[in-house]
Structure 1
Amino acid sequence: MIHLKKTGLIVTLSSVLLLSACSGNSGGESKGETKDGKKTVVVSVMMKDRFLESAVQKFEEKHSDIHIELKEYKAAPKAVEGGMGVEAISLGDVEKYVQSVTTQVISGKGADLMLMNELPQDKFVGKKLLVNLYDLMAKDSSFDRNTLYPNILKASQDGDGLYVMPISFTLDLVRGNTELLKKANISVDKNKPWNWNEYKDVGKKMKQQGYQGFDNLNSTELLFDYIEDNYGQLVDKGKPNFDSDLFRNMMKEIKSMYDDGLANEGLSGLSSEFNKMAFQMAGIYGTEEILTLPEYLEYYQKPSASGKKNGVPFKFIYSLALNSKSNVQPEAWAFIKFLLSDEMQTSPNLTGLPMNKGAADQNFNEVLQKIKSGTLEKYMLSDEAKAKKRIEEVKKLISEADVRKSSDMKVLMIASEEFKSYMSGQKSAEEVSKLIQNRVKTYLNE
């Protein structure tokens, strides 16, 4: 996914690219060859990062007979080397990466392991290009799937099979200014699902009193939300349904939110308007993060764009799939297992919430110890009891996460490109929906 940083907050612009881990310039073709007595496992990544590089180093120290080769599509520039390098990645880079890796995998080549965040998972699964990881788990007595969050694992399935292993994830939430909502005499239950239509009522009430609803809500990101929440209807068994009232009404609803001043593309958090903002988009990208928020900000469920009141949505940050054509599957599986180990799941370089339940609990306990010792930077809660309460609230949200936000990256990009002309008033909803329909149809038939 592409994540854009705004005043220190990481804001997800869709299920585009969060990390920077994806492929080599050629897509990272599998080698599987024996080199100096070692088996080589090629991992396709867009850009190397500290977590993956440290994982490779530590894994190879423990497995002298296996070499892990990270093939990156785009090298990190000097200015952000060693970090995530997010600012250097464009949607064009993502598109080229997706096309490169997809072409190789469909042709029977490609890397042994692939970071799947941006890749067309449905297409790969439908063409039987990925290994069902449940089959490998069943044969491996050393692997205990009970160490992982069962709800995240189940929601990550395609049918009854697990073809992509989540390594870490983020809860797709919003932060609400509880003090401001109380001042405006508006009640929103942070523990219950709601939808964008319900938010419109809240936004109108906020506006009437001189406040703002959302102010860091990018219209493209909102479009992605609408598409992802309705993906099964918009792309049904490989057939697009964008030339429909269903999709045209989605576009109209999004545009009306901005036209009516209920959402703002800008970031008023940089100005004196910050205290007038009721909600801001925000996932949870780490255990310390939840305790560095001011007391007046709390996590609320994100409005759904499907009209249904679903559970807590989540998105993958690191997620790996194993190429069914790989001839080093046991070695590749060993690396996946290592990424899920306590050692790597508690790594300070891991972005997001760990998939390993024990590692997550350890991280939360370490944060509490930092509070007790006074070493947690930017700690914003007034006492330890409130910190424990917030941790328990987040643990509850994690246990309720059962809606995986995903779709085909290429479909999202096509829609976003054409959607801009509708938002600017250059083209009608009918014209744009037909353009998207034709382009998506062409892509899906490739």
Structure 2
Amino acid sequence: MMALKKNWIYFLLCSLLLLTACSGKETGTDDLTAPQDIKAPAGQKTVAVAVMNADPFLLTAVQKFEELHKDIHIEINEYKSTPQSGGGTAMPGMTQEDMEKFVQTVTTQALSGNASDLIAMDNLPQEKFIEKKILINLNDLISKDASFDKSQYYQNILQTSQVGEGLYSIPFSFYLEKVIMANTPLLNKAKITIDDSAWTWNQFKDIAKKLQGQIGSSFPSFANMPPSQMLYQYIDAHYSELVGQGKTNFDTEPFRNVMRQIKSMYDEGILSAEPVMDQKQTMFSLNGLVEPLSALMDMLRSDTQFLQMPSFDGKPSGFGYRTTLLLGINSKSKVQPEAWEFIKFLLSEEMQASPQLGGYPLNKSVLDKTLEEGRQMIEQGKIPVPGGKPSAETLKGNILALQEILERARTKAPGDIKVSAIAIEEFDSYMSGQKSAEEVSKLIQNRVNTYLNE
């Protein structure tokens, strides 16, 4: 359990990074370093961009942007482990300590007024940055820029990327996570129909018990679901209630009841953290729909239904998503117009259609073209489909179903990832029976208060 907990905390801190982490260089785990300032040639303005790792998509965008804008130089300030000597390629030697140091270093720079012009906000405490007025509200730029058509992009993603009424960082692509894969033959055998539009974990529990009663307990009810993921889902959906208006609400009976509800589902065998490789051997499992073509292939599986996660309170949760890059503009930057031009270039059809962009592009027309190309390749037999080539009607229906899922993707305003890590770390002692819900909720409350007041 301890190893599982540590692995999940590390995943929580690094999940966005790992999607685009293949940088083509071997790296070690020495102190994180940022390159020294590079002076642009005379007549050029420099836009500095602070990122953990510059992936191929970003590097290509910089090259193309500078070719189009000779008067602007994009300087990438990359915070990563110092490269080791030697050749070859490898994933970056990223550790939890590296990530924490990155967060601390960039946050310190921002609070002292020395941040880059553009800041990758993926794992940074965005609320703290907003409170200190470090980031500008991008909605102000959008409303004044007639050349920027906001309607081209997924409005649900832009809306849920906001904090309050402000858009302080903007994504360029996203991927679906926390998608439930349900075993269709088992559900049909038990004559169970699921309406996932507003279902709760209590309803899920009743369905799982009904399935176990009719089919037998040889099938796990829900595999690939660590307890920490359950708690993270709750914190993610209720962050503004748990940490809002300068007051934390972990040491409360509602939060303790959620902890108890999570634990009971594992104690009763409803949920399991154990992975199941064969989806036919489980009733439900946690998965993700990461990119268009593979998602379309998954949608064509006749033995699987894709459902959104249940909620704890009955409020529609939508399909969870994460972004691969979030950029915010420093309010103290002297090159805000140039920084905004670079953001718009990253959102252009040219860059949104780049094969180096991970996940789903934010630009809807680009995604529609990708799905249309996938449809044609499947119909022409260029992409083999397990179970045989589907009919044109089936294929069209599954594309529409995927588009509907993407329109239903939503998440709460980004919370401070460190808060979630603290809660998950302490939650393990409750799951293992070492501490009571009261003890753990007080510990979480005290540690989060200490962190937020630093």
Superposition TM-score, scaled by structure 2 size:
0.86
Question: Which amino acid is 2:452 matched to?
Answer: L
Q: Which moved more, 1:174-183 or 1:74-83?
A: 74-83
2:192 to 170, 183, 186: 186
Question: Which amino acid is 2:61 matched to?
Answer: A
Contact map agreement 2:239 2:412 (CA 8 A) in 1: no
Specify the alignment match of 1:73 in structure 2: 79
Specify the alignment match of 2:417 in structure 1: 409
Specify the alignment match of 1:355 in structure 2: 362
Question: Which amino acid is 2:294 matched to?
Answer: E
- How far apart, in 1, do the equivalents of 2:440 and 2:264 lie? 16
Is residue 2:323 matched to residue 1:316? Answer: yes
Deviations 1:23-57 (A, max 9, x none): x935789x695434322222222222222222222
SS at match of 2:17: coil
Specify the alignment match of 2:400 in structure 1: 392
Contact map agreement 2:183 2:282 (CA 8 A) in 1: yes
Q: What is the number of residues matched between the two proteins?
A: 428
Specify the alignment match of 2:138 in structure 1: 133
1:18-57 matches, within 5 Å, as 18-20=16-18, 25=32, 34-57=40-63
**Cα distance change, pair 416–356 in 1 and its aligned pair in 2 (3 A):** same
Specify the alignment match of 1:161 in structure 2: 166
Question: Which amino acid is 1:91 matched to?
Answer: Q
Question: Which amino acid is 2:15 matched to?
Answer: L
2:334 to 327, 333, 336: 327
Specify the alignment match of 2:117 in structure 1: 112
- How far apart, in 1, do the equivalents of 2:222 and 2:83 lie? 33
SS at match of 1:68: strand
Specify the alignment match of 1:339 in structure 2: 346
**Cα distance change, pair 177–14 in 1 and its aligned pair in 2 (3 A):** farther
1:41-440 matches, within 5 Å, as 41-75=47-81, 85=91, 88-172=93-177, 173-190=179-196, 192-208=197-213, 209-210=216-217, 211-269=219-277, 274-293=279-298, 294-376=301-383, 382-383=389-390, 384-404=392-412, 406-440=414-448
Deviations 1:87-143 (A, max 9, x none): x54433322222222121111122221222211111211221111112222332222
Q: Which moved more, 1:219-228 or 1:32-41?
A: 32-41
**Cα distance change, pair 114–266 in 1 and its aligned pair in 2 (3 A):** same
Contact map agreement 1:170 1:314 (CA 8 A) in 2: yes
Superposition TM-score, scaled by structure 1 size:
0.87
* Structure 1 residue 14 displacement after superposition: 4.8
Identity, % of aligned pairs? Answer: 45
- How far apart, in 1, do the equivalents of 2:253 and 2:447 lie? 18
Q: Which moved more, 1:317-326 or 1:177-186?
A: 177-186
Contact map agreement 1:32 1:328 (CA 8 A) in 2: no
Deviations 1:356-379 (A, max 9, x none): 111111111111122123222666
Contact map agreement 2:379 2:389 (CA 8 A) in 1: no
* Structure 1 residue 62 displacement after superposition: 1.8
- How far apart, in 2, do the equivalents of 1:47 and 1:379 lie? 37
Contact map agreement 1:27 1:110 (CA 8 A) in 2: no
SS at match of 2:148: coil
Deviations 1:171-202 (A, max 9, x none): 34222221222123322125x23222221112
- How far apart, in 2, do the equivalents of 1:421 and 1:415 lie? 11
Question: Which amino acid is 1:234 matched to?
Answer: L
Specify the alignment match of 1:8 in structure 2: none
- How far apart, in 2, do the equivalents of 1:93 and 1:407 lie? 20
Contact map agreement 1:290 1:390 (CA 8 A) in 2: no
- How far apart, in 2, do the equivalents of 1:62 and 1:75 lie? 32
- How far apart, in 1, do the equivalents of 2:77 and 2:335 lie? 16
* Structure 1 residue 13 displacement after superposition: 5.2
Question: Which amino acid is 2:138 matched to?
Answer: L
SS at match of 1:42: strand
SS at match of 2:61: helix
* Structure 2 stretches lacking a partner, 5+ long: 5-9, 22-30
Deviations 1:132-159 (A, max 9, x none): 1122223322221121122322222222
Contact map agreement 1:15 1:407 (CA 8 A) in 2: no
- How far apart, in 2, do the equivalents of 1:439 and 1:419 lie? 13
- How far apart, in 2, do the equivalents of 1:80 and 1:73 lie? 21
- How far apart, in 2, do the equivalents of 1:116 and 1:409 lie? 11
- How far apart, in 2, do the equivalents of 1:234 and 1:178 lie? 36
Contact map agreement 2:236 2:411 (CA 8 A) in 1: no
Specify the alignment match of 2:24 in structure 1: none
- Structure ID, larger Rg: 2
CA RMSD of aligned residues (A): 2.9
Contact map agreement 2:161 2:413 (CA 8 A) in 1: no
